[in-house]
Amino acid sequence: MSLTPPKNITDGLNKKQKEAVITTEGPLLIMAGAGSGKTRVLTHRIAYLIHEKQVNPWNILAITFTNKAASEMKIRVNNLVEAGGEDVWVSTFHSMCVRILRREIDRIGYNSQFTIAGSSEQNTLMKRVLKKLNLDTKKFPPRAILSEVSNAKNELISEKDYEQNASNYWQKTVAKCYNEYQKELRVSETVDFDDLIMLTVRLFEEHADVLSFYQNKFQYIHVDEYQDTNHAQYRLVNLLGQRFGNVCVVGDADQSIYGWRGADMQNILDFEKDYPKAKTILLEQNYRSTKNILQAANTVIQNNINRKDKKLWTDNTHGEKISVYFASDEYAETNYVADQIERLIRENPSMSYNDFAILYRTNAMSRVMEETLIKRNLPFQMVGGTGYYERKEILDLMAYLTLIVNPADNLSFRRIVNEPKRGIGNATIDKLAEIAETNGISLYEAALHAQNTNLSKRAANNLEEFALMIRDFRKMTEFVTITDLVESVLDKTGYLDLLKRENTLEAETRVENLEEFYSVTQTFDQSDSEDKSLLAFLTDLSLIAPTDDIEEESSEITLMTLHSAKGLEFPVVFIIGVEKNIFPLIRQDSTEDDLEEERRLAYVGITRAEEKLFLINASSRLLYGRRQYNPTSPFIEELDEVVIEIERKEGLPTYMTGDYSGSFKRQTTLTPTQKKKNYATKSSVTSKRKQSAGSGAETYDWSIGDKASHKKWGIGTVVQIKGEKEDLQLDIAFPNEGIKHLLASFAPIEKVSDNE
């Protein structure tokens, strides 16, 4: 139920927030720093359009990146307007595209009952594609191929276009896999997550009347976290906004941390070029963190060159200084974290374990931390581990439900045709697949008529019995709830009974997980949703993101990667492993852009803290099976000494002498020239110089067409050059690796003369 709106929607907003809310016409870029109240601005802007501008709620679109953010936005909008809030389209990119495609996808030849393949199904399918193409999964890992395919789709490159442009062995191999992968998805009337956006763009580009309908519908468009959009998402927003031009994007270039998965920060940096009449408003007042934490964030991020200048400030107190702790090894590191949590809980009775977050650069770093917390009997929850919906028994149950709603889904058929065991082996399924392909039918249809094939009588009976059971379930969907259907599936398949008879601890856990699924179905059955179909239920589940499952009210310490922490906040934050080669994560082919993204990740991590921040460094660390001795992260060196306190000097690495605090940066305001100089001298990548063989000169003398020898990738050709001197970046095409982006001053390359 909506609350009565305030007399003025803009009451309680600061000057810049109010300006963003009442600027309703034309393109608008809201560059919102961390903790600056961007969600508040977005929801008040939508409410202002409805309440003050009398805009129809159904003509307003708001796109977010997570279901959690969308849900929060819907609730806030409903609380701000008397009526109509529920008619605003607030959804993620994927949810919006599903909604459009369910209605329109038949225009491009797809069935509106299509199902959505999750990461597990995608991986299984790609493994089968590699097997079919006789490719070694060690040389061509399925997930690496899928990543390349995903990148192509994010760039709106179809399998045919990719194949035409493939220029080396790797790309040509990916092209074959991409083709087969899409064929399998198409036959199964299934799409993956990247297809959802790619197909919607295709729909709009091929059918002007459909695009016109949605352009007229969405007269006011809002996009949250615009810095995280990829090319396909950018194109989608651009198409929708062409008629009215009322495109409002909110984001922060300094929090762009998903370049590795296709996000293009230039989308937000180039917004004013894309929309010449755009107005830009900076939200710089932070309501989350203390002055010391913000000063630390500002002094680190100002070392990046590719950014739109802004500086966070706050009316909050200075707060405690940032604790920098140098541990002797990974166990001293994790014990220090546990000690501090126990101390703070003991000294502050009002605090609970969910006030603490422990962040790290890669999931592998969580192992020792988990062990320590378990030994110390400290409760914690992991974000990014094996989620509930990724467990085998849940994936099996979902496959049953998916096959019931979409019998053409060969991926789901293969997963559960012999789960639990029915005497249907791989050889039988392969023969059935040949029959299905020859006749142009699905595996399910072929199984229904298995008696009319050359399969053995036993195999044919088993297949037909399975198919008839699925057919019966399909009939049930017309008159039973989802809960009743799930209960029937678990009963008639014998899946639950088999687990109960195993009588092991693992089986008992799996039974509990399946029984917990009833909570999911009952919530759906009892919801206010108009569409109570099985397809709607499965669509909702397929769009759940890992961070949607975080239990904010549970009294547990949160462990997660820095990437997963984006958008969250905690009173106390520990960032462990703040060491060069770990954070920033530096590889041989790392470039200046890579380091800048790592620094943005540090900025995100720092600004998750509300009251207290700990940065922990271990001088010795066993990771990936080898003992490492990593130097201190440049992100610690870039901190202002006035905001930090060294918790420990004993056991520091031998290269640290004297007063360590003297190496912290004292200058807090840099000119653009000083920034560039500081970047070149202090960054862990650009500070290293390569010498030309025998010349004694720095290797900055490169031209397009030069040959370069790389220790690992062999000889390649320079195809593009950017920057100069220590910032010189080379794009080098290697025959078997494709184009690599390398920093000349750091990469292990040497120029090859023509006579070599």
pLDDT tens string 444-479: 999 999 888 888 999 999 999 999 999 999 999 988
| Torsional class of 618: left (φ above 0), alpha (ψ -120 to 50), beta (otherwise) | beta
Beta strands in 703-748 (DSSP E): 707-710, 714-722, 729-734, 738-743
The C-alpha torsion from 278 through 67 and 39 to 593, rounded to 10°, is -60
| Residue after which a domain boundary falls, among 487, 516, 542 | 542
- Residue 131's CATH number: 1.10.10.160
DSSP 8-state secondary structure symbol assigned to residue 96: H
Is 32 annotated among the ligand-binding residues?
Answer: yes
User: Does 299 count as an annotated binding residue?
Assistant: no
DSSP 8-state code for residue 539: H
Angle at the Cα of 737 from the Cα atoms of 736 and 740, rounded to 5 degrees: 145
Which of 687, 672, 619, 688 minimizes the C-alpha distance to 648?
A: 619
By DSSP bridging, strand 570-575 and strand 626-628 are unpaired
pLDDT digits (tens, 9 = 90+) for 566-587: 989 999 999 999 998 899 987 7
Q: pLDDT of 73-111, one tens digit each?
A: 999 999 998 888 889 999 999 999 999 999 999 999 999
The answer to whether 37 is a known ligand-binding residue is yes
CA 336-337-343 angle, to 5 degrees, is 85
pLDDT of residue 272: 92
614, β-bridge pairs: 323, 574
Asked whether the predicted pLDDT for residue 662 surpasses 50, the reply is no
- For residue 385, which amino acid is it? G
Range 113-136 average pLDDT = 92
Mean pLDDT of 59-66: 93
8 within domain boundaries: no
pLDDT number for residue 710: 81
| Tokens 């009775």 found at | 349
What is the Cβ-side half-sphere exposure of residue 294, based on CA atoms within 13 angstroms? 23
611 and 471 share a domain?
Answer: no
Residue 590 or residue 663, greater confidence: 590
Cα dist. 14→52, 282, 284 in Å?
Answer: 19, 12, 11
Listed as own residue / partner, the contacts of 208-213 with beta carbons closer than 8 Å and 24 or more positions apart are 210/104, 210/107, 211/239, 211/240, 212/243
pLDDT at 278 over 80: yes
What pLDDT, on the 0 to 100 scale, is given for residue 509? 83
The 10 Å Cβ neighbour count of residue 284 is 16
Which residues have C-beta within 8 Å of that of residue 472, sequence separation ≥ 6?
Answer: none
- Please say whether the dihedral angle defined by the alpha carbons of residues 113, 118, 124 and 127, taken in this order, is positive or negative: positive
State both tokens at 151: 């990148």
Flag the least confident range among 536-545, 551-560, 677-686: 677-686
Q: Where are the beta strands (DSSP E) in 36-84?
A: 60-64
Q: Evaluate whether residue 310 is within a structural domain.
A: no
Q: Residue 402 is part of a domain; what is its CATH number?
A: 1.10.486.10
Asked if 365 and 395 sit in the same domain, the reply is no
Residues 124 and 29 in one domain: no
Q: Is the pLDDT assigned to residue 335 strictly greater than 50?
A: yes
Q: 105 with 122: CB under 8 angstroms?
A: no
pLDDT of residue 700: 64
> Does residue 753 have a pLDDT over 90?
no
Domain shared by 560 and 629, yes or no: yes
Annotated binding residue at 26? no
Please tell me whether 738 is known to bind a ligand: no
Q: Is 609 annotated as a binding residue?
A: no
Per-residue pLDDT for 690 more than 60? Answer: no
What average pLDDT does the structure give for the chain? 86
More confident residue, 679 or 46: 46
Asked whether residue 34 is marked as a ligand-binding residue, the answer is yes
Q: Does residue 659 have a pLDDT over 70? A: no
Long-range contacts of 429-436 (CB under 8 A, 24+ apart): 431/455, 431/459, 432/463, 436/410
Q: Tell me the C-alpha distance between 618 and 706, whole Å.
A: 42
CA-CA distances (angstroms) from residue 9 to 18, 22, 204, 325?
Answer: 9, 10, 35, 46
pLDDT on residue 691: 33
In sequence order, what DSSP letters do the residues of 617-671 get, joined into one string?
EESSEEETTEEE-PPBPHHHHTSBGGGEEES--TT--TT--S-GGGGSB------
φ and ψ of 711, to 5 deg: -55, -35
Please state the rounded mean pLDDT for residues 322-343: 94
Residue 664 lies in a domain: no
Task: Tell me which of 489, 512, 542 is where a domain ends.
Answer: 542
Domain-located, residue 152: yes
Q: What does the DSSP 8-state code read for residue 691?
A: B
- Report whether 442 contacts 187 (CB < 8 A): yes
What is the mean pLDDT of the segment spanning 674-689? 37
Going by their DSSP bridges, the two strands 738-743 and 729-734 should be labelled as antiparallel
CATH number, position 83: 3.40.50.300
Q: Of 569, 587, 567, 686, which Cα lies nearest the Cα of 634?
A: 686
Q: Where is average pLDDT lowest: 134-143, 407-416, 741-750?
A: 741-750
Q: What's the rounded mean pLDDT across residues 602-616? A: 97
pLDDT (0 to 100) of residue 648: 65
Q: Which residues pair with 749 in a beta bridge?
A: 710
Which tokens hold the place of 694?
């025998």
> What pLDDT, on a 0 to 100 scale, did the predictor assign at position 722?
73
The answer on 167 and 64 residing in a single domain is no
Helix or strand run (H / E) with residue 752: strand 749-752
Residues 377 and 394 in one domain: no
427 in the same domain as 504 = yes
Positions annotated as catalytic residues are 38-39, 224-225, 255, 608
The reply to whether 663 falls in a domain is: no
Tally of domains within the chain: 5
Task: State percent of the chain over pLDDT 90.
Answer: 62
CA separation for the pair 172, 118 (Å, rounded): 25
Q: Where are the alpha helices (DSSP H) in 65-141?
A: 67-80, 93-104, 119-132
* Residue 29 within any structural domain of the chain: yes
Residues 31 and 89 in one domain: yes
Least confident of 226-230, 296-300, 399-403, 659-663: 659-663
Residue 308's pLDDT is 87
Work out the average pLDDT over 406-429. Answer: 93
Task: Calculate what percentage of the chain has a pLDDT beyond 70.
Answer: 88
In the predicted structure, residue 688 carries a pLDDT above the cut 70:
no
**Token pair in block for residue 488:** 């029937």
The answer to whether residue 670 is domain-embedded is no
Asked whether residue 342 falls in the same domain as residue 263, the answer is no
- Is 592 among the domain residues? yes
Q: What angle (nearest 5°) sits at the alpha carbon of residue 393, between those of residues 390 and 395?
A: 45
- Mean pLDDT (whole number) for 233-258: 95
> How does residue 654 score in pLDDT terms, banded at 50, 70 and 90?
very low
Q: Which of 54-58, 186-190, 726-730 has the lowest mean pLDDT?
A: 726-730
- How many other C-beta atoms lie within 10 A of the C-beta of residue 664? 18
Residue 579 sits in which domain range?
322-385+549-647
pLDDT of residue 658: 35
Interatomic CA distance for residues 673 and 338, integer angstroms: 43
Nearest to 186 by CA among 302, 105, 255: 105
Beta-carbon contacts of 26 under 8 Å, excluding residues fewer than 6 positions away, are 245, 246, 277, 278, 279
Rg (CA), the chain: 28
Average pLDDT over residues 142-156: 94
Lowest mean pLDDT among 353-362, 501-510, 530-539, 614-623: 501-510
Which pLDDT band holds residue 683 (cuts at 50, 70, 90)?
Answer: very low
Q: Are strands 322-327 and 609-618 parallel, antiparallel or unpaired?
A: parallel
pLDDT of residue 653: 45
Q: Does 597 score more than 80 pLDDT? A: yes
Is the model's pLDDT at 332 over the cut of 90?
A: yes
In sequence order, the β-bridge partners of residue 717 are 707, 733
Same domain, 501 and 404: yes
Q: Are 748 and 589 in contact (CB under 8 A)?
A: no
CA–CA dist 408, 191 (Å, integer): 12
375 is in an annotated binding site: no
3-state secondary structure 191-234: ECHHHHHHHHHHHHHHCHHHHHHHHHHCCEEEECCHHHCCHHHH
**Domain shared by 421 and 528, yes or no:** yes
Q: For residue 561, what is the enclosing H or E element?
A: strand 557-561
Encoded tokens for 677: 């100089």
- Single residue among 630, 647, 664 that ends a domain in this structure: 647
For residue 603, give the nearest of 363, 229, 265, 316 by alpha carbon.
265
- Both 38 and 159 in a single domain? no
How far from 66 is each of 63, 121, 219, 224, 753, CA to CA, in Å? Answer: 9, 21, 23, 10, 52
CA 514 to chain centre: 27
Task: Return the C-alpha torsion angle 466, 472, 478, 481, nearest 10.
Answer: -70
